[in-house]
A and B are shown apart, each in its own frame.
Chain A
Amino acid sequence: MLCSQCQFNPAALQFDAIVNGHKATAHLCAACAQQAGLGSTASGNSEPINFPTLPPALAALFGALSQWTPPARQTTDACPRCRWTLFDFRRTGKMGCPDCYVHFHRASEKILAEIQGAVSHKGRKPAAR
């Protein structure tokens, strides 16, 4: 499962919170957990965190999560053309097909920004056919 926040790293920790009386679950990678004010020592799966006492960044995250209906897993997890997942990318450093970059657009931007320091192409285009 991917981190619910960055949709890029594998989720390493699970956090539960009661939001508006409903239980919300966030699966986060270590980096996003830390960014949200939760160190990696925070225990997953223990007592649900009480919403009003959350640090603002995390409250915002859970707030967003409570509005967010998880899209059907199979559509977000795999490229519709080649079935490649971001786990596969993490494992191999490669995408599965050209369409993966469009399907995983947000993650692609993040990856490209990290590797290339840019996300927009300058230069040649294919010849008109």
Chain B
Amino acid sequence: MKADFARWAAAPPSWAAGHDIGPVLSTRVRIARNLAGLPFPHNASSRLQSSVIHQVFDASREIARLTRAQTLSLNDLGPLQRGFLMERQLISHQHARAERECGLIVVPGEILSVMVNEEDHIRAAAFRTGVSLDEAWSDLAMLDEELSGRLTFAFVPDFGFETACPTNMGTGLRVSCLMHLPALVLSNQIGAVLEGLSRHGLTARGFYGEGTSAVGDLFQISNARTLGVSESQIIRNVEKAVRQVAAIETKESAELAAGNDRRALEDRVYRALGTLQQARLLEYVEGMRLLSLVRLGLRLGWPLEARADALNDLVFLAQPSHLRLRTARDGGSPEAALRAETVRGRLNGRAGN
């Protein structure tokens, strides 16, 4: 079945934050696994790369929870579709451009995915709305079990699951929450908070993962270590840290709203909404900055003519490849114009553009 990307790009994934305006948008857990006895993808011939894709795709067809999934070969896709998959968090920033044979398995609603031949042979991930680490992990752990019953994973007792990069060795588990932290950014405390996280074995990345900057005050908080700590410890550590950061963000936003600068903050938030409602050209980074301010205003309970679900959906829909795919027939319009139109449409409650 050929994927209809234009239709796919018209709606956010099922795990988008919906009506929630809290600091935690979503949870993602992923495991890295490799097939025993085979070179890692970066060191494998394209024949071996294809063979790994076939083995994983064949195994996935026997797994009940993946029977409705669609399977994609990235090599059949152009840069626009790959960019879209990256914006969807299904493939990484680095691998949107990889030349090798890559495959992707993704279930409807996008709560479970398997990337083949990214940095490792297998990167399986589960996604959920809000803080839902246990639920996401139990889903992923079952998939891990089912995959490992059909494929022989590279594992040694002392080092655990073996991965191309030593940063993933052991459990191969990366647990992360996508957080919206505008108050910590506005009050210049974000640096100190992120530094504190790194002292506790956690790391913060931008929306698009490793090596990307934070757009729209969005940060991914995740565990740094994967070896010597069990899966449940990793989950507990990340959850504890995420809840603490969320509490600091909430407290800080309340203080910003109660302090002497309330009028200035109100002005910024309402101007942001005005711009989003009226702009005819909207660049991506600017759009995300303005959406972030309006989302903060909603969180503070201010009367704003904007719905939380529209803002949360736009985090996905206002991205460059999403816009381009949905409006392929308007190829001539500048991206900034497409974005402005999409944002106005969503804020005014129209489901389409």
Question: In the bound complex, what is the Cα–Cα distance between A124 and B38 (angstroms)?
Answer: 21
Chain A residues, CB < 8 A from B278:
none
Question: In the bound complex, what is the Cα–Cα distance between A95 and B34 (angstroms)?
Answer: 12
Q: Are A97 and B227 in contact (CB under 8 A)?
A: no
A88-129 interface bits toward B, Cβ cutoff 8 Å, 1 = contact, 0 = none: 000011111111011000001001100111111111111101
A82 within 8 A of B: yes
A84 within 8 A of B: yes
| Surface stretch bound by A, among B110-118, B165-173, B175-183, B300-308 | B165-173
Main secondary structure of the interface of B (DSSP, over half): loop
A120 smallest CB distance to B (angstroms): 6
Interface size of B by CB at 8 A reads: 41
B107 within 8 A of A: no
Chain B residues, CB < 8 A from A82:
39, 43
Q: Are B43 and A102 in contact (CB under 8 A)?
A: no
Q: A116 touches which one: B153, B154, B169 (CB < 8 A)? A: B169
B142-171 interface bits toward A, Cβ cutoff 8 Å, 1 = contact, 0 = none: 001100110011111111111011110111
23 A–B contacts, CB within 8 A, in A order: A94-B119, A94-B164, A94-B165, A95-B166, A98-B37, A98-B156, A99-B37, A101-B169, A111-B166, A116-B166, A118-B227, A118-B228, A121-B158, A121-B161, A121-B171, A121-B227, A123-B170, A123-B231, A124-B144, A124-B171, A126-B152, A127-B149, A129-B148
Chain A residues with CB under 8 Å of chain B are: 81-82, 84, 92-99, 101-102, 108, 111-112, 115-127, 129
